[in-house]
Amino acid sequence: MPYELTVVDSFTDRPFAGNPAAVTVVESFPDDAEMQSIAREMNLSETAFAVSRPDGSYDLRWFTPAVEVDLCGHATLAAAHVLGGTARFVTRSGLLTCTTGEEDWIEMDFPADPPVAADPPVGLGIPGVKWSGRGRSDIVVELADAAAVRSLRPNLAAMVIPSVRCIIVTAEADVAGIDCVSRVFAPAVGIPEDPVTGSAHCTLAPFWAERLGRTKLVGEQASARGGIVRMRLAGDRVVLGGQAVTVSKVHMIV
């Protein structure tokens, strides 16, 4: 059957920046193998499939080119953008509510994932580690300063670690109006470096809130494309804010 997909750049206010995701709204989910094939064909960090429910919410699933994942921030933002900015999604990570917030940024209510201190894996190959820890499925590594994050040239092969989705590398920010910078590497799920990772900020928000002493934060993901994520820590939840821009439509004949 044919598929209509919308490609959205998330966590940015301009095309060709932020993190691109493909979104398709379908009557029912195709089988898993077909969804994985579509995601592989799109070859973006995520392709999202949404199915309407009788109560007005949507079932939402996310696929990288290699695997289905439990949580994806930028593709959720893209899906909400396609649906008009306000939407409720039923997902593997529970109910995710998206609303249009200040300055028309889309705000997403996600589960917080505070990291617990843990030694970095042997052989990770990241110099100058100041602190390291683990979230539910990610490793967090704090470096001495933002310049070290920006200049890092990682050994991606060393970042393929059993049971670890992403390696989040972070430091306090070096520019006004930004609280922290980060980069995210996920070769284990087919993404060498993710341009902007909403779900990583579910970990970065509690991490930096504790260190900086405030619950409202702004993060810059310092990838080549770059992007901005607003964060508001609210107990065991994180409200992530972002902008999004539609860049293309894809008609796929299968």
Active-site positions?
Answer: 46
Q: How far is CA 104 from CA 13, 100, 135, in A?
A: 11, 6, 30
CA distance 81 to 52: 15
The DSSP output letter for 85 is: S
Q: Indicate the helix (H) or strand (E) that contains 202.
A: helix 201-212
* 154 alpha carbon, distance to own chain's centre: 19
Nearest alpha carbon to residue 57 among 24, 83, 77, 32: 83
CA distance from start to end of the chain: 5
Rounded CA Rg of the chain: 17
